Structure 1
Amino acid sequence: MKQPMDIAFKVNGREVHVSVEPRRSLADCLRHDLSFTGTHVGCEHGVCGACTVMMDGEAVRSCLVLAVQAEDRLVETVEGLASDDCLSAIQEEFRANHALQCGFCTPGILMSAQALLNTEPEASNDRIREVLSGHICRCTGYIPIVTAIAKARDRLSAASRDHYAIEE
């Protein structure tokens, strides 16, 4: 067993300090050491997408990232999407459009969708489907998920347009 390493990084904007074995995955660190249990572990091979979080704004499979690689980085989990007890646009649209069933894959899909909308706010439905192709969900058939992400995209786009109109 290797000597534990002390690391510090931000999770959902909050600085955390944790001592981990060098081989511990970020997923296990988030879930077991820091109690961010919204990050689910499915395949542990980066295939299913359930463990997706954002690191420095980019969607990553936390089962494939070592916790020590998060040193001095910003990690965002599904718990960080909501603020002040208010759901984010993507979370509201998932609820409104029945885009989840069992919920196991949902946190990872939400994080991939949020990362997509952050970097490609005008992403087409085809692009949404392409991003979703990296996730395995056996419950919904993806149609409600695509609908929810597209509606969140449209809401965020309208809010952005309204924001700029107010400034002018």
Structure 2
Amino acid sequence: MEDVEKGWLWIRELKNSVCFYRVVFGEKRERVLAVPYTEVMARQREIRNHFKSLKSAAKLNKYFSTFEFRHKEKLVDKKAYLTPAQIIENMVLIEESLAELVKADPKCKKPENRQAGYETWRQWSKIRPYLNTLGGWNIKESDSQKALGWGTAGRRNQGGQET
């Protein structure tokens, strides 16, 4: 009399969630729960409460014991990377924002501005090697000046002196 629950447990993994079904022979399967991957481990107790039989409990034990290993890539938020157009747009916004911050606090007296300055230099020191080294794109500042017509190399180029 220990296995009083009719039917058995069937687990179906979808793209973003896991569905738990109760299946009884000769009847249409009944979806009991649909749980997003990120919530499966946190909602174990709720899931177990819906399936009381020993066979279901054993199947859930096995499922939960291997879940994190099998689905670790789905449990981690995927990073979203910027497109080249978004990088340009954000760099313009950063430059304009820094200009406004400097205008409002020219001597950098506010601690949050000083911290922003430190962090900006730290990030820039990580960004720069991607642009101007042989291991990166190998684009120098003077290349940008010539191509976009800014700075001393750009003015020289516009003055008719081709190099």
- TM bucket (normalised to shorter chain) is under 0.3
TM-score after normalising by structure 2: 0.28
Q: Which is bigger in relative contact order (C-alpha 8 A, separation at least 6)?
A: 1
TM-score after normalising by structure 1: 0.27
Q: Which has the higher helix share?
A: 2
